[in-house]
């Protein structure tokens, strides 16, 4: 089997590729993997260094908006998994255009190229942020999409296109909607690595608003296992929520990070809330659980292991943080 993974030099995609090539997904044992990535600021070939010498691994630098290059790379690929996206909400608020181009036009370009190549199976990676905000209960996949940020609106646009390509053209595509990810190799603009690395440097960490916004936390390894399950068993035209099953207010998350880093609340600075900040996310992932999915990483253990990873891999994150003006 041959698998094309777009955006796989990033945090989640690289984890998927490393795990696949290490034999972590039995359905894809022995598969050859082509990583297709533009190598923007969040794309880092160091994330793929552990598998760079694997004979089943190939890297192509390219933009998902480049239809001509996709037409060169896609023929013969049995499965395409589209991770490629602009993903940081704060960046989308200050500059939405890149998010629309990559997350909407880029996704559509990939779907079109898959049709031309006759790709048998496609999985598009989405986010629970497409639902908007929920005060009580949890979203099922049948809930309407009500995105509130340019990032989530662009991701919702891609999902609507995925549905349209399934219905109109018969593309065998499924989409996933994950909750907040964490784990090793996450770019240090995201909340957990940003806070951990700030605390390592003796700096304060910024907490938005009153700190009571609630998120469900999902270890990247659990997320990628869910994606592999959807790729193997998911139905065409269907979406699948992937959750971690642990909801925390941001203040509670910060408390756990402080404890893991041996710091106290003097290291926290309350800052003005993000524009359009969704209050609560909560996914009902019963649908994917019928396919055999269940998270295997507790937040207690996963967070400690993640903090330890950033302490042990300063040479990985410090250049990235400096380049992105996050230091």
- Annotated catalytic residues are 128-129, 151
CA angle 109, 112, 114 (to 5 degrees): 110
Tell me the C-alpha to C-alpha distance, in Å, between residue 11 and each of 6, 45, 54, 83, 186. Answer: 12, 11, 19, 10, 5
Cα–Cα distance for residue pair 185/72, rounded to 1 Å = 30
Phi, psi of 201 (to 5 degrees): -90, 10
The alpha carbon of residue 115 and the mean position of all alpha carbons in its chain are separated, in whole angstroms, by 24
Tokens coding 85: 């996206």
Nearest CA to 263 out of 192, 196, 183, 191 is that of 196
- 3-state SS assignment for residue 229: helix
Nearest to 19 by CA among 57, 61, 45: 57
The gap between the terminal CA atoms of the chain, to the nearest Å, is 42
């Amino acid at each position: 089997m041959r698998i094309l993974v777009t955006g796989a030099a990033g945090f989640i995609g690289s984890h998927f590729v490393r795990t696949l090539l290490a034999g972590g997904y039995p359905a894809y044992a022995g598969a050859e993997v082509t990583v297709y990535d533009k190598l923007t600021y969040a794309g880092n070939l160091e994330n793929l260094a552990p598998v760079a010498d694997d004979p089943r691994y190939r890297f192509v630098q390219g933009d998902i908006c480049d239809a001509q290059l996709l037409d060169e790379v896609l023929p013969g690929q049995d499965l395409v998994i589209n991770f490629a996206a602009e993903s940081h909400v704060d960046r989308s608020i200050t500059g939405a255009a890149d998010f629309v181009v990559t997350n909407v036009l880029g996704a559509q370009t990939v779907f079109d190229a898959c049709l031309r190549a006759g790709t048998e199976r496609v999985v598009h990676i989405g986010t629970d942020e497409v639902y908007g905000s929920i005060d009580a209960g949890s979203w099922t996949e049948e809930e309407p999409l009500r995105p509130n940020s340019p990032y989530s609106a662009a991701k919702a646009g891609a999902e609507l296109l995925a549905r349209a390509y399934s219905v109109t053209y018969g593309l065998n595509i499924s989409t996933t909607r994950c909750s907040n990810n964490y784990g090793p190799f996450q770019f240090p603009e995201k909340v957990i690595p940003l806070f951990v690395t700030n605390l390592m440097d003796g700096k304060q960490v910024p907490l938005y608003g009153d700190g009571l916004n609630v998120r469900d936390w999902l270890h990247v390894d659990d997320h990628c296992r869910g994606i592999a399950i959807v790729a193997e068993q998911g139905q065409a035209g269907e979406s699948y929520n992937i959750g971690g099953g642990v909801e925390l207010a941001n203040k509670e998350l910060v408390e756990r990070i402080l404890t893991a880093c041996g710091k106290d609340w003097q290291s926290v600075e309350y800052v003005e809330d993000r524009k359009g900040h969704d209050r609560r996310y909560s996914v009902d992932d019963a649908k994917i659980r019928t396919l055999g999915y269940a998270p295997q990483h507790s937040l207690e253990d996963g967070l400690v292991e993640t903090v330890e990873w950033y302490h042990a891999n300063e040479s990985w994150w410090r250049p990235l943080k400096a380049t992105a003006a996050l230091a």
